[in-house]
A and B are shown apart, each in its own frame.
Chain A
Amino acid sequence: MNEFEDIDEYLEGRMEAGARAAFEARLGTDPTLAGRLAFFLLARHTARQAALLERHAEWQSLRRPEATAPRARTIRIAYASIASAAAVLLLLLGWWSLYRQAESPERFADEYAQENFSGNLSLLMSGPSDSLQTALNLANQGKNGEALALLAALVQRDSANANAKNYAGVVALRAGDYDQAIAYFHDLSQQPGLFSNPGAFHEAIARLKRGQPGDKAAAKALLETVVRENLEGNEEAAKWLAAW
């Protein structure tokens, strides 16, 4: 029997259990057998490596042009192009994001409040509303608390005083008391029979300024109502909605 036959039978799993156990026991005590097994394994490994080199050379010739180096170069170029396009796209997205931020409803509300609510407040006509003018003067002096107290008293005294409600909302908004501003503006928006009612539009501004969960959606709905019902502030509302 060839000296490698036992090893071959063992590795191929063709040995019976008894012979297999004896072989493994001998492996631990017979350095010659262990050395022969090591050579057998290395020879098979070496033969596989040699075969691999041959098959690899053969398979390389089967690789279609697009699977070899030129294709790889093309793909690298394609990747470079894709990367460049992605960079440009990211820049555009960044610019668009900034643009959208600049055109956001919150930004519009800020600008509107700055232009219309932050300067001196005054009545177009004085006369019977002396108390109202006094409240506005207080607000113009930065005494928002006192102004609000006076305005609240006016509203309490005359619940139909739309000017008092509107200015109470404005002063509250200037003071940063958005909850109170929303309450006054909302009350105003519900007042029927007015020739011009800025309540809904101002409430939308106050909600955009407050920015609590649901405020933006509520503001949008209010602006849509302003546009649909042609209420005061409808031109601005339409512009803001377009940028939503």
Chain B
Amino acid sequence: MALFRLGTTDADLIAGIRAGGPRRRLYENRLYEKYAYLIREGTRKHRLTDEEASMAYSDALMTVIGHLATDRFEGRSELKTYLYQIFTNKCIDQVRKNATNRASVHQAVSLDDLTVVLPDSARSALQQLVSQFEAERLHRLLDKLGEKCRAMLLGWGQGFSDEELALELGYNSGNVAKVSRLRCLERLRELYRGGGQ
């Protein structure tokens, strides 16, 4: 294992994450370990607490993993540079949250990354609609969906494809996983509309 850790190049990590399957998580964890020293920079350079900086790092890593899995990372820069840039942005976001006393992860909902496909005219209107929902209540309702639905939606939130979700959660195909995922989403909406807490 030590040799695996020492010898894992960025190219290995990228290929491992992109290959998916049961070993994807292993490569994700190796990627985390490889650049975990950046957390110290977050505490030093941005004057964040260790918890804040490590959360910013986890957040950045999850973004990078999503970009790797969906081929949004095109390899124009080094993986480390790419991760560092996103991590820096996350740290700056945290600094701003601290400055405006909006530290809760559920309060400041920014959908920039998710609404990139939307036309500009719709984006701000949607952002306004989103802000009308109670994000924290929705977060709590995720736990009431049942284990499998919750795992399905959390995997979806991380950027797993339906095929990967099928493999991970034991569905026959990506299509079946997709139908289940959308049903889970509908159930969450019903819970929310029903006033569930």
> Which positions in A face B, CB cutoff 8 Å?
2-5, 8, 10-11, 13, 24, 27-28, 34-35, 37-56, 58-60, 62-64, 67-69, 71-72, 75
- In the complex, the answer to whether B32 meets A59 with C-beta atoms within 8 Å is yes
Residues of chain A within 8 A of B61, CB atoms compared: 59
CB-CB nearest in chain A for B155? A51
Residues of chain A within 8 A of B156, CB atoms compared: 44, 47
Query: 1/0 per residue B39-74: CB within 8 Å of A?
Result: 110010000001000110011011000000000000
Residues of chain B within 8 A of A42, CB atoms compared: 109, 111, 130, 133, 135, 138
Among candidates B32, B154, B185, residue contacting A40 with C-beta atoms closer than 8 Å: B185
Report the tally of A-B residue pairs with Cβ distances under 8 A. Answer: 132
In chain B, positions 1-40 with a C-beta closer than 8 Å to chain A are 29, 32-33, 36-37, 39-40
- In the complex, the answer to whether A4 meets B129 with C-beta atoms within 8 Å is no
Among candidates B40, B139, B182, residue contacting A75 with C-beta atoms closer than 8 Å: B40
CB-CB nearest in chain B for A48? B157
- In the complex, the answer to whether A39 meets B133 with C-beta atoms within 8 Å is yes
A64 CB, min distance to chain B CBs, angstroms: 7
CB-CB nearest in chain A for B125? A34
CA distance A8 to B119 in the complex (A): 16
- In the complex, the answer to whether B138 meets A43 with C-beta atoms within 8 Å is yes
- In the complex, the answer to whether B114 meets A56 with C-beta atoms within 8 Å is no
CA distance A27 to B135 in the complex (A): 22
Residues of chain B within 8 A of A44, CB atoms compared: 114, 156-157
Further 11 A-B residue pairs, CB within 8 A, beyond A49-B139, A63-B54: A38-B129, A42-B133, A45-B111, A47-B142, A50-B142, A50-B150, A50-B154, A51-B154, A51-B155, A59-B29, A62-B29
User: What are 8 residue pairs bridging A and B, where the CB atoms are less than 8 Å apart in the complex?
Assistant: A2-B182, A42-B135, A43-B185, A48-B158, A51-B158, A52-B105, A59-B61, A71-B40
